[in-house]
């Protein structure tokens, strides 16, 4: 007698394992994949001036504008100087890594419709634009000061109230903080609620960090290695149905 499970891949007991369903590259699907790419980088590593460094998130933001999503984050390494068993002083020099990523819906839809292989486009194509900039804390004190000020604002507490107007330029805001001894995250839609701390203080931090990101900073010695959550490769490896010709 042949059991049903004899001819299928191993999985959880009582469950049949099948290939994922074919997906169409619709705007909603493209947005889902892009969101996973933007939000799923846990940390990254790079060699700078002959030494390897790992960069963990200090303060990161993901803003959904509706037709675009933009990620901006400041990551930092351990202190450059080895302090042994002693705690590093607050002003110890570290490397900062700024990650600036952007997804634009109309550009993505047009590129996906023109791609001969949608799966390959999503796996390795220019769906999301990425830029990394590296600098030491002593060379970009404005980024350090702006980040510390925003972290301090968050540490004092975040209040949410009814929105003053429904025409916010932001549809969804996600902010994550991982400072020494303080870890917090906030996610909300300014269309449904308002946070004075986030909406009043975040724009200055964005402008300060974005300006440094566009300058480029110190070039890494080689490739940048990303550590991501498993969801991203699972999403982009799913089979995609080619868009219908018009």
The closest of 191, 212, 226 to 144, measured between CA atoms, is 212
What is the pTM for the complete model shown?
0.82
Distances (CA, A) of 32 to 28, 61, 104: 6, 17, 13
Distances (CA, A) of 197 to 151, 205, 211: 11, 12, 22
Q: Are 152 and 179 in contact (CB under 8 A)?
A: no
66 sits in the region (left: phi over 0; alpha: psi -120 to 50; else beta) called: left
Domain range summary for the chain, segments of one domain joined by +: 21-236
| pLDDT tens per residue across all 246 residues of the chain | 444 445 544 545 555 556 656 667 788 889 999 999 999 899 999 999 999 999 999 999 999 999 999 999 999 999 888 766 566 677 789 999 999 999 999 999 999 999 888 888 888 889 999 999 999 999 999 999 999 999 998 888 877 787 766 667 889 999 999 988 788 899 988 888 888 888 888 999 999 999 999 988 899 999 999 888 765 666 666 555 555 544
Distances (CA, A) of 172 to 59, 199, 234: 17, 11, 25
């Amino acid at each position: 007698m042949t059991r049903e499970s004899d001819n299928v891949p191993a999985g959880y007991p009582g469950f049949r394992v099948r290939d994922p369903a074919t997906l169409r590259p619709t705007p909603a699907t493209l947005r889902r994949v892009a969101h996973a790419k933007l939000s799923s980088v846990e940390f990254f590593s790079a060699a700078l001036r002959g030494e390897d460094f790992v960069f963990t998130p200090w303060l990161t933001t993901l803003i959904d504008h509706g037709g675009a999503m933009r990620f901006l984050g400041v990551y930092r390494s351990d202190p450059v100087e080895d302090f042994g068993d002693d705690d590093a002083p607050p002003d110890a020099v570290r490397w900062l890594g700024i990650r600036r990523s952007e997804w634009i819906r109309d550009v993505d839809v047009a590129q996906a419709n023109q791609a001969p292989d949608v799966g390959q486009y999503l796996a390795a194509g220019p769906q999301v634009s990425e830029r990394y900039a590296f600098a030491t804390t002593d060379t970009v004190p404005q980024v350090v000061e702006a980040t510390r000020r925003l972290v301090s604002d968050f540490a004092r507490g975040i209040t949410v109230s009814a929105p003053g107007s429904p025409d916010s330029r932001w549809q969804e805001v996600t902010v994550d903080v991982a400072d020494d001894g303080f870890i917090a995250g906030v996610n909300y839609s300014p269309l449904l609620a308002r946070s004075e701390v986030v909406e009043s203080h975040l724009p200055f931090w964005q402008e300060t960090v974005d300006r440094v990101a566009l300058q480029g900073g110190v070039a890494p010695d080689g490739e940048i290695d990303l550590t991501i959550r498993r969801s991203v490769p699972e999403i982009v490896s799913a089979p995609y149905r080619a868009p219908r010709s018009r």
